[in-house]
A and B are shown apart, each in its own frame.
Chain A
Amino acid sequence: MSITCRHVTRLYPICYTHLNAEQTSSSQAAAFDSIRFRLKPDRKTVGFLVTDWNLGIHSKQQSNNPRGGPRPPNAAPPGQQPPPFAGSRPRPPAPGVFQRGPAAPSGTPQTTLPPNVASTFTSPPSASQPPPSFTMRTPPPVALASSTGGPAVPPPPGAVPLTGPGARPRPFTSSPTSGLAMPPQMSTSGPVNNGPTAFSSWPTQGGPRFPPTMGGMQQPPIGPPQLPTSLSSGPSVQPPQMHPNFGNPPAGASPFTGQPVPPFSAPQQNIPPPPGSLPVSPPTQSMHHPSGSPYGMQTWPPQPGQVAPHPPIPGPMQQPRMYGMPPSPTPLPNQSMALSHTGQSKIDPNQIPRPIRSSSVIIHETRQGNQANPPPPATSDYIVKDTGNCSPRHMRCTINQIPCTVDVLSTSSMQLALLVQPLALPHPSEEPIQVVDFGESGPVRCSRCKGYINPFMKFIDQGRRFICNLCGFTDETPRDYHCNLGPDGRRRDADERPELCRGTVEFVATKEYMVREPMPAVFFFLVDVSMNAIQTGATAAACSAINQVIADLPEGPRTMVGIATFDSSIHFYNLKRALQQPLMLIVPDVQDVYTPLQSDIIVQLSECRQHLEVLLESIPTMFQNSRTTDSAFGAAIKAAFLAMKSSGGKLLVFQSVLPSIGIGSLSAREAEGRSNKSAGEKEAQKLLQAADKTLKTMAIEFAEYQVCVDLFLTTQTYVDIASISVVTRTTGGQVYYYYPFSALSDPAKLYNDLRWNVTRPQGFEAVMRVRCSQGIQVQEYFGNFCKRIPTDVDLPAEGSECAFQCALLYTTVYGQRRIRVSTLSLPCTTMLSNLFRSADLDTQFACVLRQVASEIPSAPLAQVREQATNVCINILHSYRKFCATASSSGQLILPEALKLLPLYTLALLKSSGLRADGRVDDRSFWINYVSPLSTPLAIPLVYPRMITIHDLDEKELDDSPIPPPVPLSSEDISDEGIYLLENGEDCLIFVGNSVSPDILQQFFGISSIEEIPNQFVLQQYDNPLSRKLNDVVNEIRRQRCSYLRLKLCRKGDSSGMTFFSYMVEDKTPSGLSYVEFLVHIHRQIQSKMA
């Protein structure tokens, strides 16, 4: 970074040593950062809008609003209008996924907001009945409330909600809540008692907002309801019911629309009915009633749809599951309520909201009708068409509408953050990013804020001047860039110039942006050869991985490599071709290191390939008799750094033991901690902090010189990841952890990790700067990078959209200096409901995740856990309080967009980072792994995907070889089954004790469960099952950009314990079950309300 020219430096406060693009999944660290914004309080306020989609837990959903009478529309009263129906949880459909939907709304017309209805969990039974009622609307909320509310409610719940919503929603409008938040359940459940039914009903309600949206865009809010949609998605069954209810509501809703709701709102009316909903499955129902059409699903779901009116579409469908919650288990009050109703005392687990993954590929246009289009869920498979905004892969905002005031934002309890992954891998079918060369003069920029030209710069005065969309300053158009405006006010050449019509473009950097020639691609390998590493085979594995990976490095004179080994001293190798054999150069001073040669340690790959190969083959034997147990890790990286200092580059370190000597040596403080239990919690948490500042200081220097460190920890023991990972974090590198290292099964992963690490698209000497419209300033940056100058951004903005621009100056592996500029322009809103509707769960959760990760080392565990839970509670509470006031307090109401928040939060609490019982290193690794994690990978890490594989050959799958996931609950695990669970890093294959030997034979080539090996290497046998399993695993690897650590698990031993620890929905000694957790949340909300 120092590299950048001065003026550039000023502009780009964040420096990366190294950036990678990883696909959605990879975590690449550096690449992914979230930036939290602080809203400056200068915005004007506005009323809130509510959107919602919620899950109602318990009966009622939105009951009425405060003012408004209960239910219905009438209630609508408040002006707000739109009926709040939301209650329902419409979204069933793709809820999870689409939820982001909200975004959609925003994007477009939005607002629609679909669904925020709270879904109720009400008791199922009621549900069934209710439906009708709902339809009627009777029930408003109450139903849901059931739990609390008592019986009455029940039925209605679903319905209620809607109605309810209608009533109060006004404010928010709500979204569509489609009724059931649980859609999913619905669908499925339809069957189920409570859940389903209930939902069904609700669903209806949720007016479809989408439709509206589309049309009017603005109105959306209104909508009541998402009704149908949600439902729709759900299986037909429910829908019907739903409709009814909603239908009405919607109508009610309309009022809202009328209202003010800003942008979105307007449309409502239209919305409702129409489209969305209808189309959608359930449509029918939805449609009907509805008139309320509005509710139709929320926009989101169908993103696509959204845009267009066609809403219904895809997305929606599934949502269903979500609702599941309903009837809570007895224990909690709420639930009890429910119970009473139905009589059942249990929440049907099948109706609790759970993620649904759609298997089909979505086409996502980033803007439609000149409105930002909310992005599809991060974990889904989508193809982006860049129509003005950058791809969500590059930037995602936690909320797809920007609150106009700080008050709105703070009331929502959500955080406004931007996740930026400038080098994210595109989908193969996406258009490549266009490169724009402005020649000598460099890209056109605002002369005040230095923002780069983008599609939202407004040209005026016949194109002679342009107004910066970031700071509002008016600049002269450079003469040779001048172009007349067309009748629509756009430049006539706007569509031909990528920088005027694409959200992401790359500018060729001019000399101004370089302080030196672009650096060569330097790869320096540093291998631990201490006794332990040699004896466990780690050294051999590393050498062989490096040897293979050399072949994959880019050819050409710009690729340079170097290698060194270390134990208690550091051994460099002179690979110059002239030498007959490599020359080993030992640096014995590990307190005060230096590089043993000025040149020849790092040489062009083409010149030393042979030497390198010979060397790598001989290293493991050369040190075979080494008795050196010490490892001078700190000194070694420092020495390697000194060798690389002049060029910068990637330093890949293979380390096997705790650094015990030389600079930055560490003590086995874990053991000390154990023997000194009395120190208590405080000490325990210190173990998660770096032991001292030595490594940090070193790492900062590395970053200054463009050296990025990646760590491959192939270890059997404690290595104090908390301390050594500081190096990777600061330099934009990554930690790979193989514990306990197995010479049999790990080398393949090591090789693949290494290969991906060096061959993935990446950039060097990068500097990033994020600019945003006036009124917003960057408050904090998270991620793996070196932050040099804290910067605030404060730029004027105009218009109703708020823009973010991320500019990344970097050097490609091929030595070109580029500026990648991504611009995202989002609508502003003053309505709280819009915020909820447009919340992006995946992104929000990713932010929460990394915040939690950053907290863990510095705060007591209990406090961090509580904080995480509070985030969830506060958001839901805020929603409940301001957007779903009408619902009974007996209902747990979840905004559609955030219906999975409790589940993810629960999973987070049970993740290895937040468990007190884990090894210190495991937790440190988790913290470290999480902090740069991209959104698409964040979710599976916490809430892994589990599929059944024993029946692989029975399933007919459309697009994807991967069967649909099953819930993470041990109730779903059968002894006859084989299950594969993966979180993007580990992949556990659980073999039930009663699996038929035949299947075992086919999969693993063993005849009995007793033969299950400890160390597992996946092999492909000649039978369809095995082939499919391999296909599945390969597909997962592709999706996650990770080779996965495969492990076989069986009940009864530690491997089985490991597996079951991933069953986040289970009750465990230290954690609640999912249902219990919902109840807990609900209670907390209730107590807050009171």
Chain B
Amino acid sequence: MAAPELPQTDPEGIEGVRMTWNNWPRTKVEASKCVIPIAASIQPIRPHVDLHVLPYIPLRCKSCTSVLNPFCRVDFTALIWICPFCFQRNHFPQHYTSISQTNLPAELYPNFPSIEYTIPNYPQNPQNYNPAVPPSPIYLFILDTCMIEEELDFAKSALKRAIGVLPDNAMVGFISYGTQVQVHELGFSEMSKVYVFRGSKELSKDQVLEQFGLGSSGGRRAGIGVQKAGGQLSPADGTANLGINRFLLPASECEYTLNSLLDELGTDQWPVAPGNRALRCSGVALGVAAGLLGASTVGTGARIIALVGGPCTEGPGAIVSKDLSDPARSHKDLDKDAAPFFKKAIHFYEELGKQLVSQGHVLDVYASALDQVGIAEMKVAIERTGGLVVLAESFGHSVFKDSFKRIFEDGEQSLGLSFNGTLEINCSKDIKIQGILGPCTSLEKKGPAVANTVIGQGNTTAWKMCGLDKNTCLTVFFDVSSSEKSDSSGTNPVLYIQFLTSYQSSDGQTRLRVTTVTRQWVDSAVGTEDLVQGFDQEAAAVVMARLASYKMEMEEAFDATRWLDRNLIRLCSKFGDYRKDDPTSFTLNPCFSLFPQFMFNLRRSQFIQVFNNSPDETAYFRILLNREIISNATVMIQPSLISYSFNSLPAPALLDVSSIAADRILLLDSYFSVVIFHGMTIAQWRNMGYQNQPEHQAFAHLLQAPHDDAQLIIRDRFPVPRLVVCDQHGSQARFLLAKLNPSATYSNAHEMAAGSDVIFTDDVSLQVFIDHLQRLAVQAS
């Protein structure tokens, strides 16, 4: 049982960087021959036990602004350091005078390629800034009320719980919406007070501010007010209810108000005609929320947390008409350009995303509905701002409930939600940056390192991440632009890349994480050995998945399957050992051995085979694919399967239908769902209640084991995966079967042993796929 190779314990290490190629081809031509693009998956604020936090401001190179790092050459006598990127000589400032070979500052320790600085008053420095009290993050909750009573109750109780656990100083606002948007003024003591906006009218930020009475000059004042509230946070700070703090109050002050408000909040009162969908103006609600937050100071971290219960049918951002006989768009409609609302909605959310990014605010969407809610359209705004998204069937479902809880939790489980991240990349000469796939927005900061071709958020060396957390992961695509001459010189065998991530951590501090990595240049003309050794199969598979998804969205009529196949064949042709035209002679270096299987599973995955899913689901999967770390993303592509039986310890099993046995329990982790699958016999025993009999305690343990393991998986994951417990031949078993290699189908069912299972599909099995691959690879041109 050749189990998939488990990731090494900590492949990312303190750097948090994984690259498809750890040894880089030196020329563009060589690079393109490598088939798999040179890309790095970085986890900008990865927590690590060894990470040092330095309480001072970093030294920067005066020409390229890169930060002092272990790879700098330091002349201790002259107190000079040489920047490895631009070779600029920089003097150490006065307070570094005491450094010496034996007295290195932490940032020069070779063991610390990543180091973090705490920066007082990062982005601005208002005179009255009080470093003792960090600015409070803002949580603006948006609740859809076009739901059935039961769902609304679930959502409300989730909100109440969330508000209960927010830090006292967190600023909280609340907006509910249905046919209209209701912005609740929490700071009005007399009675519940609500600003109502019509759902059908798009409002610009200025209009919103003006209508809140926060316009122009008022807005400025309000901004200052907030800062004060943030900075000094004195609720009693009487500046009265003129500014935005009418709407945003510290959690400790408004919890009671909000709870009673939620108690009274009912479902939307606007009538829904029979045969129609409820009129729901999600777009305007988000627009108003963004506008409202616009009155707060730029630089104040803020999240818009939207709980959406259905499709937007009214106003900007509508995805479907209110007529129920009009179905929501499908992938087919999108392909045929038959989704009349799609483009307009996308445009709306693009603009909204831009606005939020410019304000530095995050949009999180929690969608719970049986129907689609428009995640596909909102994706752009969510992803650009680094927002979170959870798609569930119901607000009562654990996928939503537990995920939602996680956001606000502290401690071990915490997501480490941070705000206002900015990523800058410095890299050695000859390295160009094409762009980033992942939750960020290009800041359009031009520089010599900007490549001509763009992938994702490109044309820049700096990116904005309004929201980021411990797991946030970005994929940076590099290009090598080496001219022939630099090639010949061969002077410098190593390359450096430095990632500078500044952000506001969840505790309000402003941090700068500096990660400097180095890799080798290899001259592939000499041989591919070095290249091969530097290949990271998992990273490569994930990068290919992300790139394929991106191309599917961006390029019309892009045939992802063929594209993957072609690349796989080219890769095998290049790096395989074979005799021409002799498929049987084909062997692949172990460094590549898993890659074809990843590709096989990727081809069958929800990322490529979108037609089984709604556009919303696809968008959801892709958002997560793009923001999760490599190991998680790998699971999305190729789920892990563990088998439990009486005879052996739990062990990884082949992701193949042949792993199914009547006396086994299987645990499948496909990231979005975790499936516990009981073989027929096990299920029968369980149904007969043996586990409850003292003499069959072992059986009880066997039953329990996968559940425990599933909980371990679930506990660490966000969003919380759906847990499916099923039995062989049960209807829910499809969650497992869909992921297994169909080595046994109805066409060869007669060969199967009793107790095993078959999958009813015409898909090719892995074996067939590999056979073809070998044949094609060796015949290559």
Report, nearest first, the 9 A-B pairs whose CB atoms are least far apart.
A588-B211, A596-B196, A584-B193, A586-B195, A594-B198, A583-B192, A622-B190, A598-B270, A585-B194
- A-B contacts, 11 of them at CB < 8 A, read A569-B213, A572-B196, A579-B192, A583-B191, A584-B193, A585-B194, A587-B195, A588-B196, A588-B197, A588-B212, A597-B196
In the complex where A598-B270, A622-B190 touch, is A583 in contact with B211 (Cβ < 8 A)? no
Q: Which of A563-606 contact B (CB under 8 A)?
A: 568-569, 571-572, 578-589, 592, 594, 596-600
How far apart are B109's CB and chain A's nearest CB, in angstroms? Answer: 57
A584 B180 Cβ-Cβ under 8 A: no
In the complex where A588-B197, A594-B198, A596-B180 touch, is A581 in contact with B192 (Cβ < 8 A)? yes
Q: Which residue of B lies closest to A593 (CB)?
A: B198
A568 B264 Cβ-Cβ under 8 A: no
A588 cross-chain contacts in B, Cβ below 8 A: 195-197, 211-213
B179 cross-chain contacts in A, Cβ below 8 A: 598
Q: How many residues of B contact A (CB 8 A)?
A: 26
One digit per residue, 1 when the CB lies within 8 angstroms of any chain A CB and 0 when it does not, for chain B 239-270 equals 01000000000000000000010001000011
B670 cross-chain contacts in A, Cβ below 8 A: none
Cβ-based interface call for A447 (8 A): no
How far apart are A759's CB and chain B's nearest CB, in angstroms? Answer: 29
Q: Please report the C-alpha to C-alpha distance between residue A584 and residue B240 in the assembled complex, in whole angstroms.
A: 19
Q: Which residue of A lies closest to B190 (CB)?
A: A622
In the complex where A586-B196, A589-B197, A589-B211 touch, is A600 in contact with B190 (Cβ < 8 A)? no
One digit per residue, 1 when the CB lies within 8 angstroms of any chain A CB and 0 when it does not, for chain B 109-136 equals 0000000000000000000000000000
Cβ-based interface call for B741 (8 A): no
B195 cross-chain contacts in A, Cβ below 8 A: 569, 585-588
Q: Which residue of A lies closest to B184 (CB)?
A: A583
Q: Please report the C-alpha to C-alpha distance between residue A377 and residue B188 in the assembled complex, in whole angstroms.
A: 59
User: What is the interface of chain A mostly: helix, strand, loop, or mixed?
Assistant: loop
A589 cross-chain contacts in B, Cβ below 8 A: 197-198, 201, 203, 207, 211
Q: Please report the C-alpha to C-alpha distance between residue A811 and residue B100 in the assembled complex, in whole angstroms.
A: 99
Q: Please report the C-alpha to C-alpha distance between residue A900 and residue B359 in the assembled complex, in whole angstroms.
A: 77
B192 A599 Cβ-Cβ under 8 A: no
B270 A586 Cβ-Cβ under 8 A: no
Given A582-B192, A588-B197, A588-B213, 8 additional A-B pairs, CB 8 A: A569-B195, A572-B196, A579-B192, A580-B264, A584-B191, A586-B194, A587-B196, A592-B201
B interface, CB within 8 angstroms of A: 179-180, 182, 185, 188, 190-198, 201, 203, 207, 211-213, 240, 260, 264, 269-271
Q: Please report the C-alpha to C-alpha distance between residue A313 and residue B777 in the assembled complex, in whole angstroms.
A: 129
B269 A600 Cβ-Cβ under 8 A: yes
A571 cross-chain contacts in B, Cβ below 8 A: 193
B191 cross-chain contacts in A, Cβ below 8 A: 581-584, 615, 618, 622
Q: Which residue of A lies closest to B180 (CB)?
A: A596
Q: Which residue of A lies closest to B240 (CB)?
A: A625
Q: Please report the C-alpha to C-alpha distance between residue A572 and residue B194 in the assembled complex, in whole angstroms.
A: 9
Q: Please report the C-alpha to C-alpha distance between residue A584 and residue B261 in the assembled complex, in whole angstroms.
A: 12
A584 B269 Cβ-Cβ under 8 A: no
How far apart are B513's CB and chain A's nearest CB, in angstroms? Answer: 42
B264 A579 Cβ-Cβ under 8 A: yes
B211 cross-chain contacts in A, Cβ below 8 A: 569, 588-589
Which interface residue of B211, B240, B271 has the most chain A CB atoms within 10 A? B211
How far apart are A612's CB and chain B's nearest CB, in angstroms? Answer: 13
How far apart are B241's CB and chain A's nearest CB, in angstroms? Answer: 9
Q: Which residue of A lies closest to B193 (CB)?
A: A584
In the complex where A594-B180, A598-B270, A600-B269 touch, is A583 in contact with B194 (Cβ < 8 A)? yes
Which interface residue of A569, A583, A586 has the most chain B CB atoms within 10 A? A586
How far apart are B207's CB and chain A's nearest CB, in angstroms? Answer: 8
Which interface residue of B188, B192, B197, B201 has the most chain A CB atoms within 10 A? B192
B203 cross-chain contacts in A, Cβ below 8 A: 589
Q: Please report the C-alpha to C-alpha distance between residue A582 and residue B240 in the assembled complex, in whole angstroms.
A: 23
B213 A568 Cβ-Cβ under 8 A: yes
Q: Please report the C-alpha to C-alpha distance between residue A596 and residue B192 in the assembled complex, in whole angstroms.
A: 14
A569 cross-chain contacts in B, Cβ below 8 A: 195, 211, 213
Q: Please report the C-alpha to C-alpha distance between residue A615 and residue B270 in the assembled complex, in whole angstroms.
A: 24
How far apart are A99's CB and chain B's nearest CB, in angstroms? Answer: 60
A581 cross-chain contacts in B, Cβ below 8 A: 191-192
How far apart are B431's CB and chain A's nearest CB, in angstroms? Answer: 52
A596 cross-chain contacts in B, Cβ below 8 A: 180, 182, 194, 196
Q: Please report the C-alpha to C-alpha distance between residue A628 and residue B241 in the assembled complex, in whole angstroms.
A: 13
Q: Which residue of A lies closest to B264 (CB)?
A: A579
Q: Which residue of A lies closest to B242 (CB)?
A: A627
Q: Please report the C-alpha to C-alpha distance between residue A572 and residue B196 in the assembled complex, in whole angstroms.
A: 10
A599 cross-chain contacts in B, Cβ below 8 A: 269
How far apart are B518's CB and chain A's nearest CB, in angstroms? Answer: 57
B194 cross-chain contacts in A, Cβ below 8 A: 583-586, 596
B260 A580 Cβ-Cβ under 8 A: yes
Q: Please report the C-alpha to C-alpha distance between residue A958 and residue B212 in the assembled complex, in whole angstroms.
A: 65
How far apart are B218's CB and chain A's nearest CB, in angstroms? Answer: 11
Which interface residue of B194, B207, B264 has the most chain A CB atoms within 10 A? B194
How far apart are A19's CB and chain B's nearest CB, in angstroms? Answer: 31
B269 cross-chain contacts in A, Cβ below 8 A: 597-600
Q: Please report the C-alpha to C-alpha distance between residue A586 and residue B198 in the assembled complex, in whole angstroms.
A: 11
Partner of A585, one of B182, B212, B271: B182
Q: Which residue of A lies closest to B185 (CB)?
A: A586
Which interface residue of B182, B191, B196, B201 has the most chain A CB atoms within 10 A? B196
B196 A585 Cβ-Cβ under 8 A: yes
Q: Which residue of A lies closest to B179 (CB)?
A: A598
A592 cross-chain contacts in B, Cβ below 8 A: 198, 201
How far apart are B23's CB and chain A's nearest CB, in angstroms? Answer: 61
Q: Which residue of A lies closest to B261 (CB)?
A: A583
How far apart are A922's CB and chain B's nearest CB, in angstroms? Answer: 34
Q: Please report the C-alpha to C-alpha distance between residue A572 and residue B271 in the assembled complex, in whole angstroms.
A: 19
Q: Which residue of A lies closest to B210 (CB)?
A: A588
How far apart are A758's CB and chain B's nearest CB, in angstroms? Answer: 25
B185 cross-chain contacts in A, Cβ below 8 A: 586
A618 B190 Cβ-Cβ under 8 A: yes
Q: Please report the C-alpha to C-alpha distance between residue A1042 and residue B260 in the assembled complex, in whole angstroms.
A: 47
Q: Please report the C-alpha to C-alpha distance between residue A621 and residue B212 in the assembled complex, in whole angstroms.
A: 21
Q: Please report the C-alpha to C-alpha distance between residue A578 and residue B263 in the assembled complex, in whole angstroms.
A: 11
B271 cross-chain contacts in A, Cβ below 8 A: 598
B180 cross-chain contacts in A, Cβ below 8 A: 594, 596
Q: Please report the C-alpha to C-alpha distance between residue A572 and residue B192 in the assembled complex, in whole angstroms.
A: 11
B198 cross-chain contacts in A, Cβ below 8 A: 589, 592, 594
Q: Which of A537-571 contact B (CB under 8 A)?
A: 568-569, 571
A568 cross-chain contacts in B, Cβ below 8 A: 213
Which interface residue of A580, A589, A598, A625 has the most chain B CB atoms within 10 A? A589
Q: Please report the C-alpha to C-alpha distance between residue A91 and residue B198 in the assembled complex, in whole angstroms.
A: 68
Q: Please report the C-alpha to C-alpha distance between residue A589 and residue B195 in the assembled complex, in whole angstroms.
A: 10
Q: Please report the C-alpha to C-alpha distance between residue A572 and residue B269 in the assembled complex, in whole angstroms.
A: 15
Q: Please report the C-alpha to C-alpha distance between residue A628 and residue B212 in the assembled complex, in whole angstroms.
A: 12
Q: Please report the C-alpha to C-alpha distance between residue A710 and residue B425 in the assembled complex, in whole angstroms.
A: 69
B264 A583 Cβ-Cβ under 8 A: yes
Q: Which residue of B lies closest to A615 (CB)?
A: B191
B192 A584 Cβ-Cβ under 8 A: yes
Q: Which residue of B lies closest to A623 (CB)?
A: B190
How far apart are A619's CB and chain B's nearest CB, in angstroms? Answer: 9
A618 cross-chain contacts in B, Cβ below 8 A: 190-191
Q: Please report the C-alpha to C-alpha distance between residue A344 and residue B354 in the assembled complex, in whole angstroms.
A: 95
Which interface residue of A580, A582, A583, A598 has the most chain B CB atoms within 10 A? A583
A578 cross-chain contacts in B, Cβ below 8 A: 264
Q: Please report the C-alpha to C-alpha distance between residue A589 and residue B207 in the assembled complex, in whole angstroms.
A: 9
B212 cross-chain contacts in A, Cβ below 8 A: 588
Q: Please report the C-alpha to C-alpha distance between residue A583 and residue B260 in the assembled complex, in whole angstroms.
A: 12
Q: Which residue of B lies closest to A590 (CB)?
A: B211
Q: Please report the C-alpha to C-alpha distance between residue A887 and residue B145 in the assembled complex, in whole angstroms.
A: 87
How far apart are A662's CB and chain B's nearest CB, in angstroms? Answer: 11
Q: Which of A716-747 contact B (CB under 8 A)?
A: none
Q: Which of A41-88 contact B (CB under 8 A)?
A: none
Q: Which residue of B lies closest to A596 (CB)?
A: B196
B207 cross-chain contacts in A, Cβ below 8 A: 589
B264 cross-chain contacts in A, Cβ below 8 A: 578-580, 583
